[in-house]
């Protein structure tokens, strides 16, 4: 039961961290890793899966709900979308390798949906970037 709660909490923290909700998935991953009670590969896999799912939610938000971007309740400010669109326009689909970067990563994944980036290419690039980040986190601990 402890493992289920730990993995569930890590997954949720990682999922939320990939959305506009402030969450610290790296801190959760580091704490679980330092406890020595969980295999590193499982922790990294759970964190990556949660974080990628959050990015997929952002992609769908951009793909299907962008028409509401000027509404007050829309979770990403129009200026942030414009800035991320500029990054995406400059660096192309490869910018998705930076989807893990705080502040700019989440809007990039929304913009990828707005610009109708192929979901399979999106997934490959986002997984590579986010997996790399979590591997770096456990490597420095």
- Under DSSP, the state recorded for 72 is T
Q: What is the per-residue pLDDT across 2-52, written as a single tens digit (0 to 9) for each?
A: 888 999 999 999 999 998 777 889 999 999 999 999 999 999 999 999 999
Tell me how far apart the alpha carbons of residues 35 and 95 are, in angstroms, rounded to a whole number. 34
pLDDT at 84 over 80: no
Q: How many helices and strands (H and E) does the chain possess? A: 6, 0
pLDDT (mean) for 94-106: 88
- Please, what sign has the CA dihedral across residues 3, 5, 10, 14? positive
| Cβ atoms 5, 93 nearer than 8 A | no
Cα–Cα distance for residue pair 97/6, rounded to 1 Å: 27
Q: What is the mean pLDDT of residues 105-121?
A: 92
Closest to 128 measured CA to CA, from 106, 95, 104:
95
Q: What angle do CA 25, 26, 29 make, to 5 degrees?
A: 85
Report the Cα 130 to chain-centroid distance in Å.
7
Q: CA of 140: how far to CAs of 26, 101, 129, 137, in Å? A: 12, 17, 17, 6
Q: What is the pLDDT of residue 89?
A: 83
**Residues 53-69 pLDDT 10s:** 999 999 998 898 878 87
């Amino acid at each position: 039961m402890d493992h289920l709660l730990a993995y569930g909490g890590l997954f949720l923290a990682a999922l939320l961290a990939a959305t506009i909700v402030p969450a610290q998935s790296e801190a959760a991953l580091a704490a679980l890793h330092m406890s020595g009670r969980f295999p590193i590969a499982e922790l990294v896999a759970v964190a990556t899966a949660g974080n990628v799912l959050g990015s997929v939610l952002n992609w769908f938000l951009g793909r299907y709900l962008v028409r509401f971007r000027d509404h007050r309740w829309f979770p990403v400010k129009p200026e942030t979308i414009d800035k991320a669109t500029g990054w995406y326009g400059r660096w192309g689909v490869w910018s998705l390798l930076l989807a893990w970067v705080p502040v700019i990563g989440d809007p990039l994944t929304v913009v990828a949906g707005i610009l109708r980036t192929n979901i399979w290419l999106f997934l490959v690039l986002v997984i590579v970037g986010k997996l790399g980040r979590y591997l770096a986190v456990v490597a420095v601990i």
